[in-house]
Structure 1
Amino acid sequence: MRRAAALFFAVFAATTAGMAADQGNHMKDPYIWLEDVHGQKPLAWVKEQNVKSLGLLKADPDYQKNYDFILKVLDAKDRIPYGGVDHGFVYNYWQDQEHPKGLWRRTTIAEYAKAEPQWEVLIDLDKLAADEKENWVWKGSACSPSQKRCLVNLSRGGGDAVVVREFDLGTKSFVKDGFALKEAKSDVTLVDDDTVLFGTDFGAGSMTSSGYPRIVKMWHRGEAIDAAATQLEGKDGDVSVAATVLRNGADTLPVIVRGTSFFEAEYYLAAANQTWWKIPVPLSAQLQGYFKGQLLFSLREDWTPPGGAKLGKGTLISFAVDGLQPDHLTPISVLYTPGPRASVESVATGRDAVYVAVLNNVIGEVHAYRLANGAWAGKTLPLPAGGSANIVSTNDYGSEVYLSFQSFLKAPTLYFDDGKDAPKEIKALPARFDAAGMETVQYEATSTDGTKIPYFVMRPKALKGPAPTILNGYGGFEISETPFYSANFGKLWVGRGGVYVLANIRGGGEFGPAWHEAALKENRQKAFDDFAAVAADLIARKITTAKQLGIVGGSNGGLLVSTVMTQHPELLGAVVCQVPLIDMIRYTGIGAGASWIAEYGDPADPKAAEYIGKYSPYQNVAKDKTYPPVFFVTATSDDRVTPVHARKMAARMMEQGHEVLFYENTDGGHAAAADHKQSAELWGLTFVYFAEKLGLK
């Protein structure tokens, strides 16, 4: 999945007992052998399909043009070097032609404001990979408050499992005998220079059934890892147990999060005797930060706290840590209450203010809140309208905040605010396509149950009549699809006379928790109905025709497009299905599937198996139906969703005689691309495929 959804992805090995006997029994699945991700026979099949697909698509003369353009944009030196601000530095991870694996680097806040900052390179990942003969892929870092040392996460090939190593910022070298963890789906955070809270694979029984750490330990410098003291243990059926350290200036607050499901968690604070006690908030409440002694939570469900008034779902609240007890909640304050077409998109705390990114009818804005005399006061920051306004980074140790704005036609712009609530533009991406002759329009489609589903259309102003159209969607995990600037779609599709559409279907977070909950579990069909309604509305408005309409989606979006393909093939001209979930009867036993039971339901439950079985694409694709041509894209190194779903669906559809292409990259993990060349290849293939199938000239 994407963004917050990535928190709980893990490998899960589960029994298939009880899973829809006639639809999901693996003994009746002729393609069960493709679930052996690294097996010799499956990889030979993958190689055969790759040769076929790449041969066909790369023979198109537009492929190389697409590839060259995309790679040039990805490697361009004039990109905005987005970074995270920490103390007086801005940290950035950068990839380009000379550094395909990337550089981890930093510069000062003052230097960063310049057009061409001078960077201090901390790690050259290409050199490190060559020296150590490892296929390292960068997976992030976290530094101690003193800025002496950092924990660095490195993946072999781009999967979610990482090797953790401690890095000395002064010597720019890894710390000998420092904090280090072997390859695993670990979770680790620095409490101070000499202490970490962490969870990892300690051996049998230490991981949840979802494949994440079940135990959090505290590890002090100089002691053996086996001597690290256990702080909290979860249950086997939990998604994960992980620690975080909230910082606000010199104030530090360690928290342990026990994820009981994908959308529910218990939060624990440390007592004086090194035990941990649970904060008395609903399981569905989501921790958003810590500011001037106040904990911030957003509510996924309505809640009436003891002795207080009812708080609606989506509300952002705070309460003081001082005086908080397991059976006593301190007085609650409200920062923001969304309206029916609004939602809190993200929250970030700085030293001096809390910043809240909000969506109003899928258009973004950023609010700044300050606490004075026990009351919150907020204001909307002066950023452009009509697109996506986001928080890039806040400084826990200073007043600085970086914000961004972009839309379908306006290239991303980076703003700097020194705490005076007056953002100033400091960097802007040069235009990658001519937007003068283009327009964006927001329409609404009516879904099966009468719900209005908004969607954005990006198209040439002078367009007359139906045109080749790509419809994109996601519809899951409370993730919002917002306006974004894409050189690929602008230059290679709309710039050539095509139309791009982004749908805001239920299951996402565009209108808050209720929009997401409307398509959970037994209501999943609503997300598919919404997407089909947008497709039908595009045809009814004569924006496109069924033969000219292509759909694309990845991960949960891959489930979306493969389901709509099986349910409404008459609406579609082509499908690109990326790193998808597809066999939903067996999904809990594939990759990180067990983590997502709260989203889809558990097929081991007969009731859930019944409603899942009605839409699961793998079980519902039929030989006697005519489907649009479909192109599956996945990656061997994806240890989150894994390539299994795409492999099996492609093989089944080929057997049934449908028009199918399949491509599986080796690297890249769930992104299916580990560097710019692989990204350029993936999207170069995608645009050629759509152009050929939908008739874009």
Structure 2
Amino acid sequence: MKSFSAQTFAKRMMSKFIYPAVRRDESHVDVLHGVPVKDPFRHLEDPDAAETKAFVEAQNALFQSFIKESPVRAKLETRLTKMFNYERYGVPFKKGSSYYYFHNSGLQPQSVLYTQKSIDSEASVFFDPNKLSEDGTVSLGSYKFSESGNLFAYALSASGSDWVKIHVKQVGAEKDLEDKPLEWAKFTSMTFTHDEKGFFYNRYPTPSVSQDKAGTETDSSVNQMVYYHRIGTDQSEDLLIYSDPENPTRMFGVSVSDCGRYLILNVSESCDPKNLVYVADLEAQFGCNSCLGVPKFSPIVSEWEAEFSWIATEGTVIFFETTLNAPKKRIVKYDIANPSLGFVEVVAETENPLDFNNVVDKNKLVLVYLKDVKHVMKVYNLTTGAFLNDIDMPSGSIIKGMSGTKKDSEMFYSYASFVSPGVIRRYDFSSPSDSLFRETTVSGFDSSIFEVKQDFYASEDGTKIPMYIIHKKTTVLNGQNPTLLYAYGGFNISILPAFSVSWLTFVEKFNGVVAVANIRGGAEYGQEWYNAGRLFKKQNCFTDFQYAAKYLISANYTNPRKIVINGGSNGGLLVGACLNQAPELFGLGVAEVGVMDLLRFHKFTIGSAWTSDYGNPDVKEDFEYAVKISPLHNVPTEGPYPAVLIITGDHDDRVVPLHSMKLAATMQHNLAHSANPIMMRINTKAGHGAGKSMQQVIEEASDKYTYISIVLDAPYVE
């Protein structure tokens, strides 16, 4: 028997959808490299225009009217609220003589930072972001303690924007040390000098938008600068440490070495994992571990050859993780006192890519590798590179967090999986011993009903692609199961197993299947895997994703009518491109905060950094490739097309909402004949994803999966 929602949808499919009216300017044509390119909805690029605001309101109203008749919506919100209501703990870390950890009691809008004097003593609230706003949409973006642990710098984001305001407080004090926060910081590192008189941070020139509208502007984010802020002085007195006005799109990161002597500057051109490295000797220049003027930097890496990430220092020797002559990464050292030696290998590249590292207990180098999208943890001697021991974890687990410093003999680490919300363990190098510290449980959740497996399928060119598949053990492979297929495929980012309340609810309550494809473009197999899915090889990502759907169909998990493809950001682009290229493979596409206009993405906020993956549309050869795959420019005007849901946030200043709005308007115009709905959901007071309150998370998931339930005709199982 069909559910009420399915009956409603069946009736609606018998007539065309009537979409909100929006002005279409056919005369707006750009000529790019001699090619005329229409952009009839260019006016939607202005977020403050009255017709843009009207468009947003009308799209949200249409979407809500579509899902409100389904009884699934209320059931989902009740179930998701119950499932999300479990205690979540972050990995403990030590600063000074105290321990800290993040904790959420279950449904708190934001997690709270707690402190305790010893690992066994009673904890107290150190910082509670929930007191900063009534609706929980002000979040802690990043933070940094001083070396002694006496000072705490913290950056606050409003409504999910990348813009943050930086505050400073004395540990133990109620109020901030300064009356005014530092403004217009974005993508900022924060690091204190060891005299604790101030800290380094990144900011941009003051934009044209006012603070109350920060996050809604579309202006390009260029000319980032590194400043030193001396505590107790006005921001106008901050010392400019580094800028590069001749290369306005470059970005910077600074770190003070663990010994406090060196200031290490990273320079990046884009999201391409290659960077320059400069170092300043604060002690030699100023006679102390402080910043008394503009530091003098000397180059360590002056060519765009590879990626270098600072790890630790020992005297004049600096240790790096790098892809230099090692696409799967290795550990090297560089002696500032003997630069002619160059980079000396400490730990060689292995067959498995190095994912991340940590240095604990003076000279214990903990390296975490990816082996077929599963973590393996090993310990080496930092100085000699000698292998010391393995640290075992349950098969299929993924490290979610790790803490510990050279001064600590203990390390805390957490791991999770698709069906385990998380385990925190304490590793004591002085013993050595590895003991359970805390295990997260979810009331009413039974992991034993789920099956998780990893399959490898062949893409079009024969490349084997790993894919995790989750379903109930009782699921019958009859080709009729509603299936959510997820991937990302870009920017050297690996998509690793994670505990997702929403995914597990879909599996349990809709008898669904969740498939996570580790397509090319990520870092799952190192630099070569990434290179095989970017620039003129970007099509490999889309092809890999389409072949994932073909595999699920051939293996009798599902059929095209029952497949929803889902992805966010670069994954939103993935969904948009695949809907255009292979509409016959899918029943629905849910594209979240996606990059949809590959001809203009570089003109807004931080978009210029993405030329590493998408090419530069101002270059003729890059344009000719991008125009063939850009979701906005390849929406068909005839033939069957899947249902679509486009999700964005009004404060997304990473991938600005205009991408999603222009695509939605284009799809609704070109595909007005389609019986399948094309809808849009615009989150208010939300950005690219980070910083959402728990209530926002639950509401969005409830709306999204209600829509999926209706379109895929997937009844809710009581």
Does 2:434 align with 1:423? yes
Residue 113 of structure 2: aligned partner: 104
For residues 517 and 468 of structure 2, what CA distance do their matches in structure 1 show? Answer: 6
For residues 589 and 677 of structure 1, what CA distance do their matches in structure 2 show? Answer: 33
- When structure 1 is superposed on structure 2, of 38-47 and 592-601 the one drifting more is 38-47
For residues 643 and 691 of structure 2, what CA distance do their matches in structure 1 show? Answer: 23
Give the alignment partner of residue 405 of structure 1, picking from 415, 418, 421.
Answer: 415
Residue 464 of structure 2: aligned partner: 452
Residue 358 of structure 1: aligned partner: 369
Aligned residues: 652
Residue 59 of structure 2: aligned partner: 49
Does 2:227 align with 1:217? yes
RMSD (Å) for aligned C-alpha atoms: 2.6
Residue 491 of structure 1: aligned partner: 505
For residues 420 and 178 of structure 2, what CA distance do their matches in structure 1 show? Answer: 47
Are 2:107 and 2:694, in contact at CA under 8 Å, matched by a contact in 1? no
Secondary structure, aligned partner of 1:129: coil
Distance 1:96 1:226, change over 3 A: same
- Deviation at residue 101 of structure 1 after TM alignment: 4.3
Distance 1:404 1:18, change over 3 A: farther
Give the alignment partner of residue 276 of structure 1, picking from 286, 291, 297.
Answer: 297
- Deviation at residue 672 of structure 1 after TM alignment: 7.2
Secondary structure, aligned partner of 2:420: coil
Does 2:204 align with 1:201? yes
Does 2:547 align with 1:533? yes
Does 2:98 align with 1:89? yes
Residue 679 of structure 1: aligned partner: 697
For residues 350 and 287 of structure 1, what CA distance do their matches in structure 2 show? Answer: 17
For residues 279 and 163 of structure 1, what CA distance do their matches in structure 2 show? Answer: 32
Residue 260 of structure 1: aligned partner: 269
For residues 560 and 54 of structure 2, what CA distance do their matches in structure 1 show? Answer: 36
- Deviation at residue 90 of structure 1 after TM alignment: 3.5
Are 1:457 and 1:502, in contact at CA under 8 Å, matched by a contact in 2? yes
For residues 652 and 432 of structure 2, what CA distance do their matches in structure 1 show? Answer: 42
Residue 159 of structure 1: aligned partner: 161
Residue 122 of structure 1: aligned partner: 126
The 5-angstrom pairing of residues 524-603 of structure 1 reads 524-603=538-617
Distance 1:314 1:81, change over 3 A: closer
The 5-angstrom pairing of residues 133-148 of structure 1 reads 136-148=138-150
Give the alignment partner of residue 685 of structure 2, picking from 656, 667, 674.
Answer: 667
Does 2:382 align with 1:371? yes
Residue 349 of structure 2: aligned partner: 337
The 5-angstrom pairing of residues 286-297 of structure 1 reads 286-293=308-315, 294-297=317-320
Secondary structure, aligned partner of 2:375: strand
Distance 1:301 1:608, change over 3 A: farther
- Deviation at residue 509 of structure 1 after TM alignment: 0.5
For residues 490 and 537 of structure 2, what CA distance do their matches in structure 1 show? Answer: 12
Distance 1:349 1:238, change over 3 A: farther
For residues 375 and 487 of structure 2, what CA distance do their matches in structure 1 show? Answer: 18
Distance 1:34 1:173, change over 3 A: same
Residue 172 of structure 1: aligned partner: 174
For residues 319 and 96 of structure 1, what CA distance do their matches in structure 2 show? Answer: 43
For residues 625 and 388 of structure 2, what CA distance do their matches in structure 1 show? Answer: 45
- When structure 1 is superposed on structure 2, of 285-294 and 477-486 the one drifting more is 285-294
For residues 299 and 413 of structure 1, what CA distance do their matches in structure 2 show? Answer: 30
Does 2:46 align with 1:36? yes
Percent identity for Structure 1 against Structure 2: 24
Distance 1:520 1:421, change over 3 A: farther
Equivalent AA in structure 1 for residue 146 of structure 2: S
Describe the superposition over 1:226-250 as per-residue Cα deviations: whole angstroms up to 9, x where unpaired.
Answer: 44443332244354443432443x5
Q: Name structure 2 gaps, 5 residues minimum.
A: 1-28, 209-218, 286-294
- Deviation at residue 324 of structure 1 after TM alignment: 4.4
Give the alignment partner of residue 632 of structure 1, picking from 642, 646, 650.
Answer: 646
Residue 478 of structure 1: aligned partner: 492
Residue 453 of structure 2: aligned partner: 441
Distance 1:425 1:599, change over 3 A: same
- Deviation at residue 693 of structure 1 after TM alignment: 1.8
Distance 1:619 1:183, change over 3 A: same
Distance 1:600 1:85, change over 3 A: farther
| TM-score, structure 1 normalization | 0.87
- Deviation at residue 668 of structure 1 after TM alignment: 2.4
- Deviation at residue 641 of structure 1 after TM alignment: 0.4
Distance 1:542 1:616, change over 3 A: same
- Deviation at residue 552 of structure 1 after TM alignment: 0.5
Secondary structure, aligned partner of 2:368: strand
- Deviation at residue 469 of structure 1 after TM alignment: 0.7
For residues 358 and 533 of structure 1, what CA distance do their matches in structure 2 show? Answer: 27
Are 2:404 and 2:412, in contact at CA under 8 Å, matched by a contact in 1? yes
Secondary structure, aligned partner of 1:49: helix
Secondary structure, aligned partner of 2:193: strand
For residues 375 and 620 of structure 2, what CA distance do their matches in structure 1 show? Answer: 41
Distance 1:18 1:415, change over 3 A: farther
Secondary structure, aligned partner of 2:662: helix
Equivalent AA in structure 2 for residue 359 of structure 1: L
Describe the superposition over 1:327-348 as per-residue Cα deviations: whole angstroms up to 9, x where unpaired.
Answer: x344512324221xx2111122
- When structure 1 is superposed on structure 2, of 653-662 and 597-606 the one drifting more is 653-662
- Deviation at residue 446 of structure 1 after TM alignment: 1.4
Equivalent AA in structure 1 for residue 707 of structure 2: Y
Secondary structure, aligned partner of 1:670: coil
Describe the superposition over 1:266-310 as per-residue Cα deviations: whole angstroms up to 9, x where unpaired.
Answer: 1111043431011137532221411434433333353xxxxxxxx
- Deviation at residue 514 of structure 1 after TM alignment: 0.5
| TM-score, structure 2 normalization | 0.85
For residues 31 and 365 of structure 2, what CA distance do their matches in structure 1 show? Answer: 48
Distance 1:584 1:378, change over 3 A: farther
- Deviation at residue 694 of structure 1 after TM alignment: 1.9
Secondary structure, aligned partner of 1:671: coil
Residue 69 of structure 1: aligned partner: 79
Are 2:141 and 2:691, in contact at CA under 8 Å, matched by a contact in 1? no
Residue 242 of structure 2: aligned partner: 232
Distance 1:329 1:648, change over 3 A: farther
Describe the superposition over 1:384-410 as per-residue Cα deviations: whole angstroms up to 9, x where unpaired.
Answer: 112323442223531222212222233
Distance 1:21 1:91, change over 3 A: farther
Does 2:651 align with 1:647? no
Distance 1:242 1:18, change over 3 A: farther
Distance 1:421 1:252, change over 3 A: farther
Are 1:403 and 1:415, in contact at CA under 8 Å, matched by a contact in 2? yes
Distance 1:612 1:108, change over 3 A: farther
Are 2:488 and 2:568, in contact at CA under 8 Å, matched by a contact in 1? yes
Distance 1:19 1:531, change over 3 A: same
For residues 223 and 175 of structure 1, what CA distance do their matches in structure 2 show? Answer: 10
